[in-house]
Chains A and B, each alone.
Chain A
Amino acid sequence: MLESPTEEVTRLRGCLNDLVGIMALPALWAGGEPQQIVSTLLDALLGLLQLAFVFVRLNDPDGGPSIEMMRRSELLESTDSAREFGVALDASRGNAPLKWPSIARVSIGNADFRVASVRLGAQGEIGVVVAGCERPGFPEQTERLLLDVAANQAAMGLQHARLLSEQKRVARELDRRVAQRTAELAKANEELRNEIIERRLTEEKLRHEERELERSQAFLAEAQQLARIGSFSWRVATDEITWSEQLYRIFEFEPGLRITLERIATRVHPDDLHTLGEMVDRARRDAGDLHYEHRLLMPDGSVKYLHLLAHGAIDNDGGSVYTGAVQDVTKRRHAEESLVQARSELAQATRVTSLGVLTASIAHEVSQPLAGIVTNASTCARMLAAEPPNIEGARETVRRTIRDGNRASEVITRLRDLFRGRDLVVESVDLTETTQEVIALTLSELQRNRVILRPELDDKLPAVLADRVQLQQVILNLLRNASDAMVDIEDRSRELLIKTEPDGDDHVRLTVKDVGGGFVPQDMDKLFEAFHTTKKEGMGIGLSVSRSIIERHNGRLWATLNDGPGATFSFSIPCRPASVGAGDPVAIRTATAMDSHQVVRSL
């Protein structure tokens, strides 16, 4: 059918206008999102071509669900959504729009439509545009052209938008990766920084600890020097000996010199070598703690006094290792010696003074009645010598003489009473334990006198009912006597044996054996007499008092001469004295010499 040229011109002009409009579309959607492009395309096509509806399906390039959009004319009855429309299309045409005929008919609701499909992209890879119109001639040639051009424009726009969005995505991904990497780097950096800080702190702490250690060591060295204390360790099996600086100083050895027992022995005072020997023996024997005092004889002839304390332990190899301290107590010893001397001089002076005071008191007390006696007797003699003798007067004076004589006797009795001791309490006493207490008290004194104490104490002795303090007095006295007896012994070790043991079924015995000078057999009886002494100092009442204490306990104290050098003193006391019941502590009277001041005050 041919149209009139005018109509033809008008139609072509309209078509041209529409084409211009479509060509202008990219300017509208430039840089926009696919949805915006499609939306603009749909609006333009619906208006320009006066369509009943226009539908676009965009394939997702990544194979995801496609995007469907549509516009419909207000005249169209259907209100189906794009999705429903798409489903309906697929149902009627098959779900491969590329295979759809480019022109077809569809009925929607009660209406029939002519439908034109246009591919987006050369192969329809972008999607498809479906335009529907009620007009029977749709699409005319120009309409087809417009649809194609519009679809082409849209495809290019969409292509561009996709590229853009891909670029953006890539850029975002890049950004994300960069950000992630940056974050990772930042984190690593932070960790590194923390590590550096930590390391610095650790180093600082180490340095601080090193400084502290150095300072402690300096302090220790200084303290050791000040206190004249050196420390050492000694591996007994191998005789490896390590000394502190101060110990080198005390022994006056070159610092760093290898220390051996032989080398130590060159400094030990010859008279104390046996102490060193005993110490080494003891360490090799049982690894018990060591506690010794001995002297050094320095090359210049001076003498140093040392106090050694060491603790033995078993190391991993099963050998014993001693760690200990050695203190130079020379100054203290000298001070102690002068103190002891001063004290003994004082004691001596006090003793002499007390004795003097005591004697004077006794003299005064006895002199008073004696004065009466002498005067009365003199008077009596004169009365009898008179002419005539005054018998009555003489008798009176004799009576008074007798009375004063009795008075003097009473004074003596009173004095004797005063010498009788105070009341004492007996208790259940373990003789071994009591002996150990005395040993603890005298150990350092014994060591100072270079006495080697050998205790043989029975720790399963039956208890005795006795006065603990008095027994200690006796034990102390026997130990001191034994130690004193050996004070001049230089040709042999000053060994002192102290032994406790059962004596028969119902007695316990303590024996103290020394290697001193012993005693003259004829003096055996005198030993226990008061005021008998062989010592320069001492009143000679120790053994006398000791014997009276033991006798108060119904026991006996005796002495024997050894087969070898020295003497042995022993006492034996019954576990239950006959005079003392088994019940509550009982007060018993015990003979002890009271202190003379007390006597004088009482007088």
Chain B
Amino acid sequence: MTIQRSLVSVVDDDESVRESLPDLLKEFGFDARTFSSAQEFLNSDCVGKTQCLILDVAMPGMSGPDLQRELKIRHQAIPIVFITARRDENIRPRLLEQGAVECLFKPFSDTALLEALNAALRVN
């Protein structure tokens, strides 16, 4: 018997995040996939399998909240943890109100991320 690891997908246009996060997520015991844009994620076969989405807010093309709305339309209830480099205190409550599990400001600590992921998976 094999234990299926939870799949966490990361959508961020910033390469350093895409490079660093998967290793940390694997240390946490998750499977990780990275995508450089919302469109790339939607086009992938991961949409249905993803148990938690780590999503950058500001991206060229479709933004994080845009993707959140799109998933709602497709009835894909994936818990979302937003990450953003723009430290705007107003944005967090707005995103949480719209159903996000958490919103972390970059740079964030590993423990903060783990807590958010655990919360997300509990929701799931």
A371 to B19, CA, bound (A): 11
Interface pair A379/B24, CB less than 8 Å apart:
yes
Q: Which chain B residue lies CB-closest to A381? A: B110
A375 and B27 within 8 A (CB): no
B91 to chain A, nearest CB (A): 12
A-binding segment of B38-46, B69-77, B79-87: B79-87
- A378, B109: Cα distance in complex, Å: 7
- A383 on interface, CB distance cutoff 8 Å: yes
A200 within 8 A of B: no
A407 within 8 A of B: yes
Flag if A363 contacts B87 (CB, 8 Å). Answer: yes
Answer whether residue B106 sits at the interface, using C-beta atoms and an 8 A cutoff.
yes
B61 CB, min distance to chain A CBs, angstroms:
17
Task: Please judge, given known A-B contacts A363-B85, A363-B86, A368-B85, whether A397 and B20 are in contact too, CB under 8 Å.
Answer: yes
User: What are the residues of chain A within 8 A of B21 when measuring CB–CB?
Assistant: 375
The residues in B between 5 and 20 inclusive whose CB is less than 8 angstroms from any CB of A are 14, 16-17, 19-20
Query: A386–B24 Cα gap in the complex (Å)?
Result: 12
With a cutoff of 8 Å between Cβ atoms, the chain B residues found around residue A375 in the complex are 17, 20-21, 24, 107-108, 110
Q: List the A residue with the shortest CB-CB distance to B85.
A: A367
The answer, yes or no, to whether B66 is at the interface (CB within 8 Å) is no
Does B23 make an interface contact (CB < 8 A)?
yes
Collect the chain B residues with CB atoms within 8 Å of residue A364's CB.
85-86
Assembled-state Cα–Cα distance A383/B110 (Å): 13
How many whole Å from B8's CB to the nearest CB in chain A?
13
Contact B14 A371 (CB under 8 A): yes
Give Cα A382 to B16, complex, Å: 18
Q: Pick from B20, B24, B106: contact of A367, CB below 8 A.
A: B106
> Which residues of chain A come closer than 8 Å to B87, judged between CB atoms?
360, 363, 367
Whether B16 contacts A378 by the Cβ 8 Å rule is no
User: Are B108's CB and A374's CB within 8 A?
Assistant: yes
Q: Which residues of A contact B23 (CB under 8 A)?
A: 376, 379, 383, 393, 396-397
Q: C-beta contact mask, B92-124 vs A, less than 8 Å → 1, else 0?
A: 000000000000011111100000000000000
Q: Does A370 contact B (CB under 8 A)?
A: yes
Q: A407: which of B16, B107, B110 is its contact (CB, 8 Å)?
A: B16
State whether A382 touches B110 (Cβ < 8 A): yes
The interface bits of chain A over 259-270 (1 if a CB of B lies within 8 angstroms of the residue's CB, else 0) are 000000000000
Residues of B close to A404: CB separation below 8 A: 16, 20
Task: Determine if A38 is an interface residue (Cβ-Cβ < 8 Å).
Answer: no
Q: Whole-angstrom distance between the alpha carbons of A367 and B106 in the complex? A: 6
Nearest CB to that of A393 among chain B residues? B23
The answer, yes or no, to whether A157 is at the interface (CB within 8 Å) is no
On whether the beta carbons of A370 and B107 are closer than 8 Å, the reply is yes
- Cβ distance B111 to chain A, nearest Cβ, rounded Å: 8
Evaluate whether A371 and B83 lie within 8 angstroms (CB atoms) in the complex, with A382-B110, A400-B16, A404-B16 already known: yes
Task: Give Cα distance in the complex from A450 to B20, angstroms.
Answer: 64
Contacts of A476 in B (CB 8 A): none
Tell me whether B85 and A372 are in contact (CB under 8 A).
no
Which chain A residues lie closer than 8 Å to B88 at the CB level?
A: 360
Q: How many angstroms from the CA of A381 to the CA of B109 in the assembled complex?
A: 12
Distance in Å from the Cβ of A363 to the closest Cβ of chain B? 6
Q: Which residue of B lies closest to A378 (CB)?
A: B110
A394 CB, min distance to chain B CBs, angstroms = 10
* Bound-state Cα–Cα, A368 to B27, Å: 21
Min distance, Cβ B68 to any Cβ of chain A, angstroms:
20
Bitwise, A120-131 to B at CB < 8 A (1) or not (0) is: 000000000000
Closest residue of A by beta carbon distance from B27: A382
CA distance A381 to B27 in the complex (A): 10
Chain A, residues 374-413, CB within 8 Å of chain B (1/0): the string is: 1110110111001000000100110010011001000000
Q: Are A382 and B86 closer than 8 Å at their CB atoms?
A: no
Determine if A383 and B106 form an interchain contact, defined as CB atoms under 8 angstroms apart.
no
Asked if A371 meets B27 with Cβ closer than 8 Å, knowing A378-B110, A382-B110, the reply is no
Closest to B105 in A: A367
CA distance A393 to B19 in the complex (A): 12
- Whether the pair B106, A371 counts as a contact (CB closer than 8 A) is yes
Please give the distance in Å from B90's CB to the nearest CB on chain A: 12
Q: Using Cβ atoms and an 8 Å threshold, which residues of chain A touch B85?
A: 363-364, 367-368, 371
Which A residues touch B24, using CB under 8 A? 375, 378-379, 382
- Tell which of B14, B108, B109, B110 touches A368, judged by Cβ atoms closer than 8 Å: B14
Chain A 322-366 near chain B by CB (<8 Å), digits 1 or 0: 000000000000000000000000000000000000001001100
Nearest Cβ distance between residue A4 and chain B, in whole angstroms?
Answer: 181
Among B14, B19, B27, B86, the residue within 8 A (CB) of A383 is B27
- Whether B17 and A372, one on each chain, are in contact in the complex, defined by CB atoms closer than 8 angstroms, is yes
Q: Is A373 an interface residue (CB 8 A)?
A: yes
Given contacts A371-B14, A375-B17, A400-B19, 20 further A-B contacts (CB under 8 A): A367-B86, A367-B107, A368-B16, A371-B17, A371-B20, A371-B83, A372-B16, A372-B17, A372-B19, A373-B16, A375-B21, A375-B24, A375-B108, A379-B23, A382-B24, A383-B23, A383-B27, A396-B23, A400-B16, A404-B16
Which of B's residues lie within 8 Å of A, judged by CB?
14, 16-17, 19-21, 23-24, 27, 83, 85-88, 105-110
Q: What are 10 of the A-B contact pairs (CB < 8 Å)? A: A360-B87, A363-B85, A367-B87, A367-B106, A368-B16, A368-B85, A369-B16, A373-B107, A381-B110, A397-B23
Q: What 9 pairs across the A-B complex have the smallest Cβ distances?
A: A372-B16, A371-B106, A378-B110, A367-B85, A374-B107, A375-B20, A370-B107, A371-B107, A379-B24
